[in-house]
Amino acid sequence: MKHQIFVIAKAGNYYRSLAAIENPNLSGLEVLKRCLLLLRIFSHPKNRIPLQQELRFAKDFFRDQPPPAALPTDALENADAFHRPCPFPFTTTCLIVGGSFDCDNGRIDVVFEELFGVGYGQEDTEDDMTILDITDPGNIKYCFMNMPQEPKKTEGRLPRIVNEPLNGWQYLESFYKISDRIVQQNIHVPESLQKVSLITTHTLADLWPWVTWNVADYPAVQSGPLLGPKGLLQQTAAALVDAVLFHNDQDDLNPITDFIQQVPNVRPILRDAILERADEVGKTAVSLSLLSLVYEGEQHLDWSAFVNLDAPGLSSALQTLPRQQVASINLSGTKFSQATAELWSSLSHLAYPNIYLLEPPSRLDDESSKT
């Protein structure tokens, strides 16, 4: 039996599918085992940074797109999708690796990447599904789902629950009795899944509105979180950062230094303030000094928002940081993906950090990844 696996996430106000594959030879207990492997991959700490970056890309990518369609469209009509690069390659790679590897036998299955945007029933298929919600990489959710099948294909099998999110035990009941030997020998598999949060029907209804879901009192889509007024610390941090970025006076750094010394754990608030004004960083020398100051002590530098950083500016900002401090730096979506030679010279001060350099879904090709 064929099986589809989807990776979804909330991008803005709506849930969207980021990647999907089909495994033509996956069913029953093996589905649960692949799900556990995928949960380990998407939850692994070393995959956290690139996943979070692609989730940020997804919010930008879907920001100006309409809500999920009330009626299914023919995904194959989108000819442009055949020629553009994979929008979320890291997420897709994680999915292909986990969805194709048979841990028990050390075998790699043949899997097929689905056309980007394909959803429930858009390929006239009766495949069952695994769905993973990676909105919060620290709390991955999952569910299985049975799709309706022709009566002749269900003869001799146990009744199937269709179009509802299922946990591991519920999905297995379509294939086995709990007393079956194969289930008892692998009982740790569904029991392990019991510890993982289950995707809700509300999430699936948001993702694929054209399906008839059993959702009572489905809440209206919210425009976003309601943000109250900023506290005194946030207002002070914003004012100090503005003074540096817009006055371009090196002396304006002194009040920020005093602020850091007098207020415990205030650097994260200053980082939030500078991220809200990320476009200004790199335009002046004092903005580079400010960048170094507020990120002092951070092992991971997520500087992907600072799109106006050039190679000399990056090098200058890094010079004042201890050589061994920086374990990784994220410059995804910046100009450095097109100027890797300049990037390496700018990072020469650091002691072999991990470098993240992902490109956004809007890219036209993957030529830069070959350099």
Q: Do 185 and 255 share a domain, yes or no?
A: no
pTM of the model: 0.86
Q: Do 198 and 244 share a domain, yes or no?
A: no
Q: Do 181 and 242 share a domain, yes or no?
A: no
CA 258 to the chain's CA centroid: 37
Q: Do 196 and 236 share a domain, yes or no?
A: no
Q: Do 256 and 190 share a domain, yes or no?
A: no
In a domain, 93, yes or no: yes
Q: Do 263 and 362 share a domain, yes or no?
A: yes
In a domain, 192, yes or no: yes
As a whole number of angstroms, the distance between CA 26 and CA 127 comes to 10
Q: Do 39 and 103 share a domain, yes or no?
A: yes
Q: Do 152 and 202 share a domain, yes or no?
A: yes
In a domain, 216, yes or no: no
336 neighbors 366 (Cβ within 8 angstroms): no
As a whole number of angstroms, the distance between CA 204 and CA 227 comes to 27
**Residue 301: domain span:** 232-370
Q: Do 203 and 113 share a domain, yes or no?
A: yes
In a domain, 20, yes or no: yes
Joined together, the tokens standing for residue 100 give 């194709």
In a domain, 223, yes or no: no
pLDDT for 84? 74
Tell whether the model's pLDDT for residue 154 goes beyond 80. no
Q: Do 119 and 243 share a domain, yes or no?
A: no
Which residues on neighbouring strands pair with residue 108, listed in sequence order? 101
Q: Do 363 and 316 share a domain, yes or no?
A: yes
Say which DSSP state 130 is in.
Answer: E
134 neighbors 119 (Cβ within 8 angstroms): no
In a domain, 320, yes or no: yes
- Which of 117-121, 164-168, 270-274 is predicted least confidently? 117-121
pLDDT digits (tens, 9 = 90+) for 259-295: 999 999 999 999 999 999 999 999 999 999 999 999 9
* Among candidate residues 173, 207, 241, the one where a domain is terminated: 207
Domain count, the chain: 2
Average pLDDT over residues 24-28: 90
Tell whether the model's pLDDT for residue 219 goes beyond 70. no
Find tokens 């005093």 and name the residue: 258
pLDDT for 217? 47
pLDDT for 159? 62
Side-chain-side CA neighbours of 216 within 13 Å: the count stands at 0
In a domain, 346, yes or no: yes
In a domain, 133, yes or no: yes
Q: Do 191 and 236 share a domain, yes or no?
A: no
* Among candidate residues 149, 173, 207, the one where a domain is terminated: 207
